[in-house]
Structure 1
Amino acid sequence: MKNSIPSYSSLVDEVAEVLNVSIDSAYRRIRGEKLLDFEEIYLLCKKYNVSIDKLISSQSNTIVFQGKQNNFGEENFHSWMVDVLAQLEMVNSFKEKHIYFLLKDMPPWYHYYHSELASFKFFFWQKSILFNENFKNQQFSLDRIDNTEYSDLTQRILKTYNKIPTTEIWNLEGINTTLRQIDLYH
């Protein structure tokens, strides 16, 4: 937690504020004289974005992932794309950066260079991966291509990705995955 709090703030003040306890009570908790109850652990973990698993895990080789679960809403795909852009911008903000890719599908931004392919992949992801109800009984059609909703976002993702040094490990399976998806919907 010390690393998460602003430099102008003290740990005891933060603990006291989050737990709504006195400074003296916060000191007792920090020193271990008073044990934290589960509600207090939950409040601190939530405030500082720390997994409870990370705190209580006895294994040092544990890897904890965080992410947003699919809520099957219409905005899910757009939110995912915004999140991809945010992750790429975060990586790009570092002085030393590099991305390594090994996927069973082509990296998603390569579809953005071709509007027809991008439209198909957007349709596929929303229907088959995100289970968007609006796509439940729809069939893909090149006649209904309209990427205007995502065009600004895809261009920003491409621009950001192209600034980051990458190593991409491709194989035939990556291209075959997209071809099988097209064949499936054909």
Structure 2
Amino acid sequence: MNEQANFFERIKQTLPSYQNLAQSVADILGISINEAYKKIRGTSLLNINQITKLSDGFSIPFQYQPSQLPTVTFNYVSHSDQAEHMTEYLKEMLATMKQIQKSKQKHITVTSDDVPIFHFFKYPTLTAFKLFYWANNPSMQQFDFEKLPSSILDIALELHQVYLEIPSTEIWAKDTIHGTIEQIRYSFEAGHIGNKADAVAIVEQLRYCLTDISMYAIGSKKTIDNTHSFNWYHCDVLGGITYMVDLEQSMLCYNRFNTYNYLKTEDQTFCLQTKEWIKGLINKSMAFSGQGEKHRNKYLYQAFAECDKLIDEINKA
């Protein structure tokens, strides 16, 4: 019974305020409003077929874990590097982000040794390069911005905008920016970026991206809306790339691996342990947002200097 109540609570969190839960359940199951209320209250149990229909209709998995087994269930999300699959991958990501955005209470916490991907998506050439580099496809030896479908860039830009409107906390490592700079340097030196102008444009857009993040940090918010808060921290050592989502009554956890595939779980015990781990990281971290001007400026100055050095190397090559 408790699992059924939790299931409906998670469904409720994904619905916009104007959408009635009972009516939505009744429509999907083909039952009366009265019977839908009974299901939601738990006085009438869902059968397997109804659980499946609701899971498919709301894109919310029903989870059951035997109490005696300390196991965690993950969903594995991956894709191929073909353009049509990349488009579907980004569409699924956008649908997930919009679900989070619609929740009454939400917050995303990111721990990462690479700049969180949503920041890149504002800049088309930088986005195209990161997708090219991540694909790691032997048949794609040469970076060509013109080959990236405009539909992918449109979805990426929308993902960026949605992320701006979700309160977030980001914990970066010492080399978070350095990783992308080295990817650009390697790709240029290896001949994967054959055009100097493209290489310079990628680095310049990375600079613009960092400037944006600096502005978010100064105001501790990503837009003019104070509810779109932004907390930025620096920690010397991170244990992995994690996206932690806090909702009103539940949490989600995404662990990235193999570049940008990820494992997703809604196991609340696992999520709570991850949240406690993140709290420990924050306690050992240096704040960059708000009053952390001195340390933030030093960190960004070094990053900008690395960008300038790489642009100089490209122009002299």
Partner AA of 1:107 in structure 2 = P
- Identity across matched positions, percent: 21
Give me the whole-angstrom Cα distance separating, in 2, the residues matched to 1:69 and 1:143.
23
Match of 1:110 among 97, 119, 123: 119
Give me the whole-angstrom Cα distance separating, in 2, the residues matched to 1:50 and 1:137.
40
Match of 1:141 among 126, 130, 143: 143
TM-score by length of 2: 0.40
The equivalences for 1:96-135 within 5 A come to 96-125=105-134, 127-128=135-136, 135=137
Secondary structure at 1:2's aligned position in 2? helix
The equivalences for 1:161-176 within 5 A come to 161-176=163-178
Tell me by how many angstroms 1:90 deviates.
1.4
- 2:232 — aligned with what? none
Contact 2:112 2:176 survives alignment (8 Å): yes
Match of 1:157 among 131, 156, 159: 159
- 1:18 — aligned with what? 49
Aligned residues: 151
* CA RMSD in angstroms, aligned pairs only: 3.2
TM-score by length of 1: 0.63
Match of 1:92 among 97, 101, 106: 101
The equivalences for 1:23-102 within 5 A come to 49-50=61-62, 54-56=64-66, 58-60=68-70, 62-70=71-79, 74-102=83-111
| Residues 156 and 74 (structure 1), Cα distance of their counterparts in 2 relative to 1, 3 Å cut | closer
Secondary structure at 2:170's aligned position in 1? strand
Give me the whole-angstrom Cα distance separating, in 1, the residues matched to 2:147 and 2:116.
21
Give me the whole-angstrom Cα distance separating, in 2, the residues matched to 1:47 and 1:93.
19
| Residues 175 and 182 (structure 1), Cα distance of their counterparts in 2 relative to 1, 3 Å cut | same
Tell me by how many angstroms 1:14 deviates.
4.5
Partner AA of 2:49 in structure 1 = V
Give me the whole-angstrom Cα distance separating, in 1, the residues matched to 2:150 and 2:130.
15
Give me the whole-angstrom Cα distance separating, in 2, the residues matched to 1:46 and 1:121.
37
The CA deviation string for residues 89-110 of structure 1, in whole angstroms up to 9 with x for no partner, is 1111122221111111111122
For structure 1, the 5+ residue unaligned runs are: 20-43, 129-134
Secondary structure at 1:101's aligned position in 2? strand
Give me the whole-angstrom Cα distance separating, in 2, the residues matched to 1:144 and 1:73.
15
Contact 2:132 2:143 survives alignment (8 Å): no
Tell me by how many angstroms 1:146 deviates.
4.1
Tell me by how many angstroms 1:55 deviates.
3.2
More strand by share: 2
Contact 1:119 1:145 survives alignment (8 Å): no
For structure 2, the 5+ residue unaligned runs are: 9-24, 26-32, 56-60, 189-317
